[in-house]
Amino acid sequence: VEQELGIQAGLQDRVVQVYEGLVYMDFEASFMEKRGHGQYERLPKRVFDWFVSLPLFLAYESDPSDSGKIHSNVRARWDA
């Protein structure tokens, strides 16, 4: 994603792309230390149907900041 679009994408973005739907993600420390990744579960259609039945609120920023500036050094901060 970063190379194709020139933007930073987090690991959660990639998990959703792989599972192609609404995904439960658990990043519990001992699980992550043992396996090197979080615990992921694609949620059933009934959960998605419930979710989309909720009122929709859209937040819009007319002059957004570049999130790449914030996310671009995440790895360096993690390694520090």
Active site residues: 13
First to last CA, the chain: 25
Helix/strand/coil (H, E, C) string of the chain?
A: CHHHHCCCCCHHHHHHHHHCCCEEEECCHHHHHHHCCCEEEECCHHHHHHHHHCCCCCCCCCCCCCHHHHHCCHHHHHHC
